Amino acid sequence: MEKIVIGRINKPHGVMGELRVSVYTEFIEERFKIGESVFVEVNDSLVEYTLKSMRKHKDIFLVQFEGISNLNQVDHLRNALIKIDYQDLHDLPEGQYYFVDLVGLDVFVENNKIGVITEILDMPAHPIIKVKTNDRELMIPYVDRFVKKVNLEENRMDIDWLEGL
């Protein structure tokens, strides 16, 4: 079953087994809901954990898993990815897409394929689409002005090209 990344463990916080986590989702309450299961990828294997607590601390989030009560039980989780099952994602309103669904789409300008989406960067002003062409990498703002149509069934995104983009 396909898993998607929702965060990354940076390092332990304190001695009671809490972890400093960088969150990679806008749906924090849904993805890090107390009592729900997540998967932590450590050395190419997935370990399932149940969320015991989640709280904001300055500019980072602190997470603790059930059955964890001290630093020694979590020190090996440094830099591990936190994942969930793709099927557990909630449905989005019409016309909205998860970034994970956009990666790999072919990008077209006036019915000419120019490249493939390799990554979506979630920037403060708006997301940026990274498109790999034959000879370079383009960075296109993910805003209505540039993105004209997304069709997941056809694995396609149509954009409006501006000179200098």
Q: How many angstroms separate the most distant Cα atoms in the chain?
A: 58
- What is the C-alpha to C-alpha distance for residues 120 and 141, in angstroms, rounded to an integer? 10
Average pLDDT over residues 105-117: 94
The pLDDT mean for the chain works out to: 90
Structure tokens at 22: 């960088």
Closest CA to 123 of 142, 136, 106: 142
Per-residue confidence (pLDDT) for residue 17, from 0 to 100: 92
User: By residue range, what is the domain housing residue 115?
Assistant: 99-159
Average pLDDT over residues 130-145: 91
Residue 60 shares a structural domain with residue 106: no
Residue 52 shares a structural domain with residue 15: yes
* Number of domains present in the structure of the chain: 2
Residue 8 shares a structural domain with residue 39: yes
Task: Name the percent of the chain lying above pLDDT 70.
Answer: 97
Residue 83 shares a structural domain with residue 153: no
